[in-house]
Chain A
């Protein structure tokens, strides 16, 4: 009989069975049948009428709201922006479903979107503006009024401006909610604003593709997964990475019998769907990619017509990869030459409907732009760019912006990438701003505004981030929960969740044009305010009133929509307005244009050569783990978004702590038992919080894996505090991509220690 191992990843056996969790949950007499949160209830007692009014277009009703109403909006638990329909029952947020009219969600959300209800009812939410009372990071606060908080912020910003110039203020902001703060700070006069979505995420990929095709992959990715006949996933762990449309199309492709090839050191969910699973040695993907291209070229399997028509420098490229045979790649990757050949032929068999997925979180080893470029080139050989089953060309509706006065021109250039140190950094580098803040060079940075990004979990090397924070005169954090970064702030501004506010329009670049609206579903339960209000109030206090000619965001939205010939009312009712379909594939008439230096697909990149980099990607072997250590890998769990959902009571229930995956034979050798707590120590001596061991066959013996976003240390995140360990804490080393400044984070090594 096979051994049965029972593991409960999210085992949280309540010690007191009959006591409902959380002191404020489940009030009232008939209570426990409904998950009610006092905050919500209290808030709606006051706001119920207003919430009811929201549905009736602003008419304020007196009686408590009864019955069910629906409000279309779009999700914000991650950056995919799925169209959703929220249900409110008797004045309480009940559930959120996908909006069938929306091409991103296609009527179905991912678990995080469905669990978005928990963001609204989370009892740990920030409720009022806070001003620091003790030393930074001690999380001791005084609750203040919005007026006081905003006055403090404005005053300090003006002081920094007076002493160091407006450029000394930087904004970190992730997601569409940051639009208005960016506007205010541009008006204030700083060019310094960055998001972790570039240097910590998709930067290298977009640069690598832009260097090849002249265009980025973008977000949502321009991948035609649903029509792919062969889908190659290099690390992209679709199914765990729950970017909704991709997960849906992945299942569609499986259903249609597409041939799936997965390259991952870990037997991911996607791997379990694959015809070919390639358990690669971590960091050797570029070698595999070169070998694949070598097979396609030497065996003449590539799309000659496509390459002849659109390619530049193919012959040089061909010569460069001539030595990258499967036999050469074998010792680097651990993948048998026969398997490399077989999978290359499989790809060729289905081209051009063979999609080698570009990945998204591409910051792995510091050679990431070149690896991404190799992925782009492999797709080019297969002729999939611009073709059905490959990549479409995104289209967008025309919705004019709001006419503001021109921004002042900053005296100083951006601080994050002095002298173009990273010549292909097409967006600002969070790490660059951090470094300037620490060193004061090229010029001092004294104020940070942080909007919706938990820099302590998102950026590598927390120690550096804290050092930078200590060098600041002002740290303002706008968040919805008491995140780690909020814990370090001087002023914390509590935002309403996406379910309680308007945001800017989502005028999406997608395979069909549409515009979507985020609008309030329920009232904010406490003193939280939406970002547009915060940004505007701040601007008024900074004397930048001219940049806010509108007083409510409805005016702003209405203006933009009217200019586009669209109706705000219709959008409020439908949540989405579609534009006219346009061709998105070359074969359909989309223009086959490649805005590179050569105006073609750069198999050989003169741009790179001129900048002193390899014009055709070359493999460099990553440093192997020292004897007895394991490479630390990390990724996503389907029910969590980064570090933002662990305190969401509904999503917390799905996975309350993360586990570290260790090969079962390694675990046995180390005498560690499945389910027991261990700690990880990295090469710099940093010791993690305790984390459960998952002893599994599903991972190579030379690496360990954990889900990102756990191990919260913020005292006031009561549900998430002390649950699991943080990968970010262990990422004290990173390999910077010399092309664009991305921070490769898979270069840390850990040992395992049993927890007494």
Chain B
């Protein structure tokens, strides 16, 4: 028998740590999603598909711009000392994923803007001749490859960073896994593909994105398993952390919302769709995206309550 009694009762800390509410999961989800979209955009650009009418090249960059800004908005809302936010850019802290993130985000915007400028919506071109001129100037083989590379590299960096951000916080064993980066990356990719799948106008692109989404979901399933196995084969604190979703209080949200509704079910739906047994509907993609959001919520929540043995 062991009794621990603390006289401390700090807000956000006691009895259980909950320093991050909805803002951070939303930010992580949007960031990961955008990262996935950037990778898709990069890939499509490399393939020269900006010549075709793909939604990846025409819709995703602009959408990413908006989503990322919403994500940054959520992040900003979470800050407790908002007026000092500029302090992020007076330094670069090598050991701080957040500092890396701040700077990555600074580079992500121009990359997205450039991708956007490659295929701006028609009215923009009509209204602002400058946009049209810029678009033409960028649209050279070197320009496109440069933009593609930037989006690919920054997309991967952004996606991984959203995971590293948590896994660097060693105090919370549940987050203490190098796999969190790849997990968030692949989850972001699947959300991005799902979104593309949903908004694609042409059959070929839709099929391609649906099939890649299924691959991403399958990989994600595998990475989730790896993540848990990794925790279970680590120290006692990590095993205890894994137990939070394996029989512990977070089992249902994790397995039902994240794995079941967010990965397995949409995977089955989309498998049926790509094998033409059912029609393509937004149901699968929406579930995938909801699952991505749930993943961030669950991981952030579970991580905060996981802890090292008190002594």
Give the interface of A toward B (CB within 8 A): 1-14, 17, 654-655, 664, 696-698
Contacts and interface: CB of A to CB of B under 8 A. Distances in A.
B3 A17 contact: no
A12 B15 contact: no
B2 A3 contact: yes
Contacts of A654: 7
Interface string B201-245: 000000000000000000000000000000000001000100000
A9 B3 CA distance: 12
B236 A655 contact: no
Given A7-B4, A7-B6, 14 more contacts: A1-B236, A1-B240, A3-B1, A4-B2, A7-B5, A8-B14, A8-B15, A10-B9, A11-B9, A12-B9, A14-B11, A17-B11, A697-B1, A697-B3
A664 B310 CA distance: 21
A597 to B, nearest CB: 50
Contacts of B8: 8
18 contacts: A1-B236, A3-B2, A4-B2, A4-B4, A5-B4, A7-B5, A8-B5, A8-B9, A11-B15, A12-B9, A13-B11, A13-B14, A14-B11, A17-B12, A654-B7, A696-B3, A697-B3, A698-B3
A696 B5 CA distance: 10
Nearest to A16: B11
A6 B1 contact: no
A655 B1 CA distance: 25
Contact of A9 (B1, B7, B310): B7
A6 B2 CA distance: 9
B211 to A, nearest CB: 46
Contact of A10 (B1, B4, B7): B7
Contact of A6 (B6, B7, B309): B6
Contacts of B240: 1
Nearest to B310: A4
A64 to B, nearest CB: 30
Interface of B: 1-9, 11-12, 14-15, 236, 240, 309-310
Contacts of A13: 9, 11, 14-15
Pairs A-B, 5 closest by C-beta atoms: A2-B2, A17-B11, A7-B5, A11-B9, A5-B3
Nearest to A656: B9
A26 to B, nearest CB: 15
A7 B3 contact: yes
Contacts of A664: 1
Residue from the set A2, A8, A14 with the largest chain B CB neighbour count within 10 Å: A8
B285 to A, nearest CB: 37
A6 B4 contact: yes
Q: Is the interface of A mostly helix, strand, loop or mixed?
A: loop
B1 A2 contact: yes
B230 to A, nearest CB: 20
A8 B7 CA distance: 6
Contacts of A17: 11-12
B9 to A, nearest CB: 5
Contact of B7 (A1, A5, A655): A655
A664 B4 CA distance: 14
Contacts of A6: 4, 6, 15
A127 B9 CA distance: 31
A535 B266 CA distance: 84
A19 to B, nearest CB: 11
A673 B17 CA distance: 22
A5 B11 CA distance: 20
B245 to A, nearest CB: 18
B226 to A, nearest CB: 25
Nearest to A664: B1
Contacts of A10: 7, 9
Contacts of A2: 1-2
Nearest to B12: A17
Nearest to B16: A6
Nearest to A14: B11
Contacts of A697: 1, 3
A258 B81 CA distance: 52
A2 B6 CA distance: 18
A1 B11 CA distance: 29
Nearest to A639: B7
A238 to B, nearest CB: 19
A656 B109 CA distance: 50
B13 to A, nearest CB: 9
Contacts of A5: 2-4
A8 B4 CA distance: 9
Contacts of A4: 2, 4, 309-310
A615 B12 CA distance: 62
Nearest to A12: B9
B23 to A, nearest CB: 14
- Most-contacted residue by chain A among B2, B3, B7, B11 (CB, 10 A): B3
A537 B287 CA distance: 81
A654 B6 CA distance: 11
Contacts of A12: 9
A12 B149 CA distance: 53
B83 to A, nearest CB: 14
A665 to B, nearest CB: 10
B123 to A, nearest CB: 44
A4 B240 CA distance: 12
A636 B236 CA distance: 39
A3 B1 CA distance: 6
Nearest to A675: B15
Contacts of B309: 4
A594 B240 CA distance: 66
Nearest to B6: A8
A14 to B, nearest CB: 5
Among the interface residues A13, A14, A655, A698, which one has the most CB atoms of the partner chain B within 10 A? A13
Contacts of B12: 17
B11 to A, nearest CB: 5
A6 B236 CA distance: 19
Q: Which among A4, A9, A11, A655 has the highest number of chain B CB atoms within 10 Å?
A: A4
Nearest to A9: B5
A13 B4 CA distance: 18
Nearest to B14: A8
Contacts of B7: 8-10, 654-655
Contacts of A3: 1-2
A564 B204 CA distance: 107
A698 B2 CA distance: 11
A11 B240 CA distance: 25
Nearest to B239: A1
Contacts of B310: 4
